[in-house]
Structure 1
Amino acid sequence: MTKTLTTIGFDADDTLWQNEAFFRLTQARFAALLADYAAQDHLEDRLLAAERRNLGHYGFGVKGFVLSMIETAIEVTDGKVPASVISDLMAAGREMLRHPIELLPHARDAVEALAGDHRLLLITKGDLLDQERKLAQSGLGDLFDGVEIVSDKTARVYAAIFARHATQPAQAMMVGNSLKSDVLPVLDVGGWGVHVPHGLTWALEHAEAPQNHARFHLLPDLQGLPDLVEKLQGSHKI
């Protein structure tokens, strides 16, 4: 009998461990440094515009975030931003890159429960060195059969990943906190998408949940994931 699910992909940031909270803290520090030049809401709008504009150049992650903050600081001060502010922003970025990993509730239990019976993949965006560091510090690395650090998450990217791991999309599941990156593209290629919302979500990751999609599931946290996988396996429907 054909197995319903052979491969389960996990997003990393804000699915397995905390991430966006540290960006928010640094953004608050950014606003404080530039309080004499622009109001916080204006700064947030300008920074978000810079991040959107720079994604194609710098990609996702801390380094692109820091460069976008510096660019925004130059813009809102008409080029008069003090060197000390630039130095502080660079220091804030280095602190983010050194921050210890904080696993989210039930992350380890869920991954351990599914390892062995399924091919587990870590599929994440961001800076290569930073994501490798976080995975190593998480203690979860040995539980994954493959790690894919990609520049973006699209239907084409997921199809290529599944093909590399000898998986039909219909037998694959992706679990993550971003509807835009972790769920919708996988549904588009015929896989299962499991949305596990995080309390903080970057504005550029917002998307509408699919309505009445047979392969879409919503879980409040990772605790219920093993039971969901077992239920789907029991249905033997592809």
Structure 2
Amino acid sequence: MSLLLKTYHRDLSHSYTLGVFPTIELIKHKPQMVKKVILHSKGSGNAGVEKLNDICGRLGIPIVINDKLTLKLSKKEDCFAVGVFQKYTSQCLKGQNHVILDHPSDMGNLGTIIRTVLGFGITNLGIIKPSVDIFNPKVIRASMGAIFRMNIEYYDDFDQYRSSHENSVYLFALNKSATKLTNINCYQNSPYTLVFGNEGSGLGEEYENKGEYVIIPHTDSIDSLNLSVAVGISAQYFTKDLFSAG
């Protein structure tokens, strides 16, 4: 049975990469999940599109040129490629460092966080439901395809996560007992899990006594940091040993 390709919604069993680079990342890291690639005729001669044609040819991935369908799925005049792939599941790996997001609600933030933590060598992301859909094309686009190199697992609550993982837990939230990030000995307690709350409400009372509270110091000129910025600063601090040599 052929897939019915229509505007994305969460209930679909498949999703889309919008753009040449995210589609190349999809094919490089999850080739077994790719159903087809749809190209726009305006992309003819584009170096990225030529690379896509080559990769798809070598892997036997079907390619179709359909301007109308490309526009329908991407809603962008300048989108030259759409990748169609089957959704899949993955798990946070035991014994590795993790990031946990509690009820993330912004697709752009989620995609940026995925791209950022991957850049700092953290490849396991847990998400506490309810949350935005990781396979929404807007999330994939914001991650620039980094999502296809991540292990991402949904959890009903933090206790469910803790039942499977014994990492040292650091809770990023305003709390009177919070330790400044720069005073944390991030080499002592590994593997670790960095936990961040929702963009608007932060971490709730259910996290009390679930880990060590941490705060990122900044001037009082601002009220708080954007979630993706806070995750990026924290991930860089906890992984700085990876980049200290040389």
Task: Give the TM-score category using the shorter length.
Answer: 0.3 to 0.5
* Higher fraction of strand: 2
TM-score between the two structures when normalised by the length of structure 2:
0.34
